[in-house]
Amino acid sequence: MEELIIPVLIGAISAAALKAENYFDRIRVFERRETPGGTWIYDADPKVAPIQPGGFPADIDKPLAIPENLPTATPPNQQERYAHTPIYQNLTTNVPQIAMSFSDQPFSYGPFVPHYVPRQYIETYFSTQKTDEYLSLNTTVEDVSQLPAATKGGLKPWRLTLRKYDSLRHLDVWWQEDFDAVILANGHYAIPWAWRHIQRNSLAK
């Protein structure tokens, strides 16, 4: 049986560790942005995301409706997905590099660095570990479900529903893939939060 694993929105170190184990036949890394880097990706001119004071992430960032018949292509999603980061131009890290870098490849300088250094570091780590071939960029994992029937190896596979924007056709492409194992590393704090009783005009400031 072909063993498959997918790290979802995962850090570079996990992809490198899985490669070193040499247990799985195929490794995939899905990243919804155009480059690895997570919260360290700088958006120079992001649009202002809507804020709902007191709202919970699950209520604000609602899942998209999945098409009934997959694979398929649909008009591009217009719903806010909170993909932009809060990084600003002059931001520097407030954690020393020893706590932000991997032991086998430390930062070249520090202890506190501009925001683009961690992003470049993550990109470089994928490259030096030769795991960049695992990356599927601009791809959003819209659903993860475990299938009821076990495979020959006794594992219940996981089915991922995926969406990728096709800029040439100006369409969202939807499809599904099955895997023996899944690692979730979806990050946190992408959705703005404000106290329920804050004045809305204060948010604009």
- pLDDT at position 1, please? 38
Q: Which residues contact 36 (CB under 8 A, 6 or more apart)?
A: 12, 29, 122, 123, 126, 135, 137
Pairing of strands 139-146, 26-27: unpaired
pLDDT of 8 reads 45
pLDDT at 115: 93
Percentage above 90 pLDDT, the chain: 50
Most confident of 8-12, 168-172, 186-190: 168-172
Stretch among 2-11, 32-41, 53-62 having the lowest mean pLDDT: 2-11
Average pLDDT (57-86) is: 93
Say whether the peptide bond before residue 111 is cis (omega within 30 degrees of 0).
Answer: yes
Residue 16 lies inside a defined structural domain of this protein: yes
Distance CA 85, CA 7 (A): 21
Of residues 160 and 196, more confidence is placed in 160
For residue 73, give the CATH number of its domain: 3.50.50.60
12: in domain: yes
166 is written with which tokens?
């096709």
Q: Is residue 115 part of a domain?
A: yes
Q: What is the mean pLDDT of residues 119-134?
A: 94
Question: Does residue 195 lie within any of the structural domains?
Answer: no
Residue 100's identity, in one-letter code, is M
Stronger pLDDT, 184 or 134, i.e. the higher one: 134
Cα-Cα-Cα-Cα dihedral sign, residues 150, 153, 158, 159: negative
The residue that leads in pLDDT, 150 or 133, is 133
Q: How many CB atoms lie within 10 A of CB 162?
A: 20
pLDDT digits (tens, 9 = 90+) for 98-123: 888 888 998 877 789 999 999 999 99
> Tokens 């020393």 identify what position?
96
**198 domain-assigned:** no
Domain that residue 132 falls in: 2-46+56-184
How many of the other CB atoms lie within 10 Å of CB of 118? 22
* Closest residue by Cα to residue 145 from 128, 131, 130, 158: 158
Q: With CA atoms as reference, report the closest residue to 123 among 141, 146, 140, 105.
A: 105
Residue 20 lies in a domain: yes
Q: Is there a cis peptide before residue 63, judged by omega within 30 degrees of 0?
A: no
Q: What is the pTM of this model?
A: 0.85
Backbone angles phi, psi at 91, to 5 degrees: -65, 135
Domain count, the chain: 1
- The answer to whether position 36 is within a domain reads yes
The mean pLDDT value of the chain amounts to 86
Which phi and psi (to 5°) does residue 159 adopt? Answer: -110, 125
Residue 193 counted as domain residue: no
Is residue 24 scored above 50 in pLDDT? Answer: yes
